[in-house]
Structure 1
Amino acid sequence: MIRRARLLSVVIVVLCGALGVISSTQTWLTVELQDAAHHVLDVPGASAVPVLAPLSLAVLALGAALSIVGTALRYVFGALAFFIGAVLAWLTARVVFEHPVSAVASVVTDSTGIAGEESVAGLVASISATAWPAVTLAVWALLIAAGAFVLATAHSWSRTGRRYRTDHAAKAEAAPTGGSAAHAGDGPRPHDAAGSRAIDDWDDLSRGEDPTA
């Protein structure tokens, strides 16, 4: 269960970061302008939420580092994942439910050269959203849950490593003892010495000598 908690946390955080990076390149909004041609502009996630790409990359890095850091940093990274997820969820929810002009302002300015939110609002006829903002909002909800899960289980992740180190140390200490016993067994045995003495006595008798002398 401990190993599964670690693996599950790392996989979910990395997955959320990867999906966030992918989402930043996809079309979130389409905006129709009030001009003679009624131009329609596509607004990618990185334009709708400017911090989407960098924070998603930060989540990726958090997930990768989460598998190797110690207990204290697990709490720090879990809290960061929770916080980043909450911030991105709030920003994404605004796009999903409000379709604010600020989310399309940069794209409209690049297309028309007109800056200023009020001026851009006067050019916009309608704003519609694709499925990507809603999907990304679900991703951030999952990231918030993952951050909370890390905070709840991080204290138990180190038990497996500690138990492994203890068992490994015990085996290492036991190895020399076994080796010493093996070397001790290489020495002469009592019955082997007695047998050698009996053979010598028999040779003395064969030569006509008294072995008890």
Structure 2
Amino acid sequence: MTARARLISVLAVLSAGALGIISSTQTWLSVTVADGSSSSLPVSGAATIPVLAPLSLAVLAAGAALSIIGLVLRYIFGVLTLVIAGGLSYATAQVAFAPPVTAVSSTVTEATGISGIDAITDLVSDIVVTPWPFISLLAWIILIFGSIFMLFTARRWNRGGRRYDTAARREVDDGKPLDSIDSWDGLSRGDDPTAPGDAR
């Protein structure tokens, strides 16, 4: 259960962060501008929610660090990813279910040269939502549950900071062979997995 809880938490955070980065490059909205040509403009996730890409990168970095950080940082990262997930869930839900004109304003301004929310509101005739906001919303929901799960199970991942324990002590504590993350941690400390006593 200890190794499985850690693996579930790491995978939840990493998958949400990776999906957030991917979705930031995809088309979230298609806005029709009544400028005589009734042209349709694609609006990316990054243009819709400017903080989407940097926050997704932060989540991805947190997920990558979860396997090597100590107990206190696990709780800090758990709270951090939970706050990010809550904020992005709220922003993404707004875009998915009732996209505001502000979500497309930067794209419209870049294409037409017209600025000002009132002028852009008069110019925009239709906003169509693609599946990407809903896919991203699902990722943030996964991140919320993954963060909560992390906060509830972080203390059981190891005792005393597995990063600083010997490989033998970790196996005795858990009563099971080391997983791939444990083995990688041991190698990063200079432990020799082929040395006598480490053989599995």
What range describes the TM-score normalised by the shorter chain of this pair? 0.7 to 0.9
Q: What amino acid is aligned across from residue 17 of structure 2 in structure 1?
A: G
% identity of equivalent residues: 50
Deviation at 1:12, TM superposition (A): 1.2
Deviation at 1:163, TM superposition (A): 8.6
Question: Are residue 114 (structure 1) and residue 117 (structure 2) matched?
Answer: no
Q: What amino acid is aligned across from residue 123 of structure 1 in structure 2?
A: L
Counterpart CA distance in 1 for 2:117 and 2:138 is 29
Counterpart CA distance in 2 for 1:88 and 1:35 is 32
Deviation at 1:117, TM superposition (A): 1.0
Residue 179 of structure 1 is matched in structure 2 by none
Deviation at 1:36, TM superposition (A): 1.3
Select the structure of larger CA radius of gyration: 1
Distance 1:50 1:155, change over 3 A: same
Could you state the TM-score of these two structures normalised by the residue count of structure 1?
0.76
Identify which of 166, 171, 175 aligns with 2:169: 166
Which 4+ stretches in 1 moved above 6 angstroms? none
Once superposed, what is the RMSD of the aligned Cα atoms?
Answer: 1.8
Residue 36 of structure 2 is matched in structure 1 by 36
1:22-51 CA deviation, whole Å, 9 max, x = no partner?
Answer: 000000000001121101000000001110
Q: What amino acid is aligned across from residue 66 of structure 1 in structure 2?
A: L
Distance 1:126 1:115, change over 3 A: same
Residue 83 of structure 2 is matched in structure 1 by 83
Segments of structure 1 that go 5 or more residues without pairing to the other structure are: 170-213
Could you state the TM-score of these two structures normalised by the residue count of structure 2?
0.81
Higher helix share: 1
Counterpart CA distance in 1 for 2:133 and 2:170 is 50
Q: What amino acid is aligned across from residue 28 of structure 2 in structure 1?
A: W
Counterpart CA distance in 1 for 2:129 and 2:100 is 11
